[in-house]
Amino acid sequence: MESIYNNILQIDGNTSRPTVIFNASTGQLRLMGRSILENSIRFYEPILKWIDEYIKHPAEKTEFHMALEYFNTSTSKYLLQIMQQFESMFRSGPDVSIVWYYSDEDMKDLGLDYQQIIRVPFEFRALEESKK
């Protein structure tokens, strides 16, 4: 279920869909859980549109917390698009960072791959830290 209330985008996750909590007021944008969707475009298009609007009036500091324990190939395309939006924002001046949580070395390596593509400051944390 998706809801936008007071500049907050919230989507409840399940076993195949991630939880999304994007708060425009605080600049804390969280994507958590698993993303193994049948129809990734239907899920991620509203998120991309929300970010497009957010970029117009961002918080003083934006942190994208990417805490997916697993995602499929179609999700990886949308993650890249999301991070490209943050890169565009970062190039225009606002304080933006990506906090990449990983559960194992493979997930950390994926984050390092994105870090090579996206010119935004990255921070890496063990997945347990996303629950704090």
pLDDT higher than 90, residue 128:
no
pTM value is: 0.91
Give per-residue pLDDT as tens, 2-51: 444 468 999 999 999 999 999 999 999 999 999 999 999 999 999 999 99
Q: Which residues of 7-33 are buried (b: 16+ CB within 10 A; e: fewer)?
A: eebebeeeeebbbbbbbbeebbbbbbb
Beta strands, E only, the chain: 2-5, 8-11, 19-23, 28-35, 61-71, 95-102, 122-126
Give per-residue pLDDT as tens, 70-84: 999 999 999 999 999
Strand 28-35 relative to strand 19-23, pairing? antiparallel
